[in-house]
Structure 1
Amino acid sequence: MNKQVAEFLGTFTLVLFGCGSAVIAGADIGLTGISLAFGLALIGMAYGIGPVSGCHINPAVSLGMVAAGRMQMPEALKYILAQTAGAIAAALVLLIVASGKADYDVAVNGLGQNGWGTGYLGEYNALAAFLFETVATFLFMVVILGATGSRAPAALAGLAIGLSLVAIHLVGINVTGVSVNPARSIGPALFAGSTALSQLWLFIVAPVLGAVAAGLLFKSGLLDQTE
């Protein structure tokens, strides 16, 4: 159970501080600050729980690891359950904290949920949202698999992965709020209302497709390092 506990705590931290930065401090820190919050939360957890579970804290990453041949599906499913539970718990804690402010209304202010279309941030359409989430997760997974490879400097893996998440957020927040992580999307959507729930499918399907594609690319050997 130690790996599942680690994944629960890691995903809890990512959602609480990442989504929390948008809900509680977004007006003060802006898109750059929110991007840094997600990346720094991931970096901290990479070094905190990485030695225990590998710090996937993302169902798409776990499935990408399966596709790359670095993990078995039964273990991945246990990871995914723990990650999703951690995200839901964090979203609930964030909702309770945010509701402590007199003028907070989840229907108006949201809970850091992902989305697209009319009324959501940059108002990009579903095609743009799907393409961004797929490609961004693919590239994110490439960084993860490369940085955790046998020839990569292990001490720098967490930093490389976290900074890549910052870069993805800097580009993509206005498009979808940035998921690249189904658990991160599921947690807030459960409390944010019908629109977030109706759009949740995209933030499950697109990241999984992108991560699995990256895993298969690595398994093919096309990105193997040469002497």
Structure 2
Amino acid sequence: MPDETTPVESDDFTEDLTTETWPADLAGPGLVARLAAEATGTFILVLIGAGTAAMAAVTGRGPLDVGLAYGIALMIGIVAWRSVSGAHFNPAVTVGAWLSGRFPGMDVVPYILAQVVGGILAAGIVRIGVGSLEAVTSDSAMSLMGAVSAGYGEHAPLASSGLNFSVAVALTVEALAAGLLTLVVLGAAAKRTTRTVAPFAIGLTFAVLMMWAIPFTNGALNPARATATALFSDTWALQQLWAWWLAPVVGAAIVGLLYRIYGSVEEPEVAEESAEA
């Protein structure tokens, strides 16, 4: 006869989604400090990544430069802010970390808002920088920001070459890429993973996924980044923005739920470190 004190796995799964088990007096940075870290980290990510993408559009450089820029920028953010906020810098990763049971649900919305604000500020600086170029007019600056923004169909990166990937292809690519990124993030956040490995594992994963996704969608993977660049682009970028929220969040959410069910059984670390996401 089974021990009555043994928890039933299905009951744990159901209760975890509705019950917060995070202690109210967590040691470490408070919410304001963590939100500032998320905003700053996302700012760095978008400033370096989108800035490099804008220059690549001018000079004709390929996905390798842009992917490495985003990956290295993410490494910088993780090293600088991991111990403060968990270094998400991505709404999809935040949702995945929450659904995996490694991040408190009450902080999901504040984190996402901080990430979006940080991204918008960085994209604004990139837009000003692009507009300051002598050969770039106001209209061409918006078009250049459009070249940095994610797009599908006639606005896909290779549409001029006849590869105007459909919305179905774009959603699939983005969901898979965001899901894989979230999987690596959650794995790197485990207690058994050394702190020195996580920044490189996550940063290099992000770089490779960006290089893979850029020909299809220009590599959104991050709703905060997609929102930031779309706001300073042509109207089509905002009209397609829904896709860059839906696909990454769904991909990350699926991975988060699967990780909760099949991932390693361990006590989550404190909030600011558990979501190394």
Tell me the CA shift for residue 30 of structure 1. Answer: 2.2
Deviations 1:44-85 (A, max 9, x none): 110011111111000111111110111122211111111000
Identity of aligned residues (%): 34
1:22-41 correspondence to structure 2 within 5 Å: 22-26=53-57, 27=59, 29-41=61-73
Confirm whether residue 224 of structure 1 aligns to residue 264 of structure 2: yes
Q: Which residue of 1 aligns with 2:154?
A: 118
Q: Which residue of 1 aligns with 2:205?
A: 164
What is the alpha-carbon root mean square deviation over aligned residues?
1.5
Deviations 1:168-217 (A, max 9, x none): 01211010111111001000111102100010000001000011111101
Which runs of 4 or more aligned residues in structure 1 lie more than 4 Å from their structure 2 counterparts after TM superposition? none
Q: Which residue of 2 aligns with 1:6?
A: 37
Q: Which runs of 5+ in 1 are unaligned?
A: none
Counterparts of 1:110 and 1:187, CA distance in 2: 10
Confirm whether residue 94 of structure 1 aligns to residue 135 of structure 2: no
Counterparts of 1:109 and 1:93, CA distance in 2: 14
**2:113 alignment partner, one of 81, 87, 109:** 81
Equivalent position amino acid for 1:178 in 2: G
Confirm whether residue 106 of structure 1 aligns to residue 138 of structure 2: no
Confirm whether residue 152 of structure 1 aligns to residue 175 of structure 2: no
Q: Which residue of 2 aligns with 1:55?
A: 87
**2:221 alignment partner, one of 166, 169, 180:** 180
**1:193 alignment partner, one of 214, 223, 234:** 234
Q: TM-score, normalised by structure 1?
A: 0.95
Equivalent position amino acid for 1:138 in 2: G
SS at match of 1:163: helix
SS at match of 1:192: coil
SS at match of 2:232: helix
Larger radius of gyration, structure 1 or 2?
A: 2
The number of residue pairs the alignment matches comes to: 225
SS at match of 1:42: helix
SS at match of 2:134: coil
Q: TM-score, normalised by structure 2?
A: 0.78
SS at match of 2:192: coil
Counterparts of 1:136 and 1:22, CA distance in 2: 19
Equivalent position amino acid for 1:218 in 2: Y
Tell me the CA shift for residue 116 of structure 1. Answer: 1.1
Q: Which residue of 1 aligns with 2:6?
A: none
Counterparts of 1:223 and 1:92, CA distance in 2: 39
Counterparts of 1:81 and 1:108, CA distance in 2: 26
Counterparts of 2:142 and 2:121, CA distance in 1: 19
Tell me the CA shift for residue 108 of structure 1. Answer: 2.6
Counterparts of 1:16 and 1:69, CA distance in 2: 31
Q: Which runs of 5+ in 2 are unaligned?
A: 1-31, 159-163, 266-277
Higher deviation after alignment, 179-188 or 149-158: 149-158
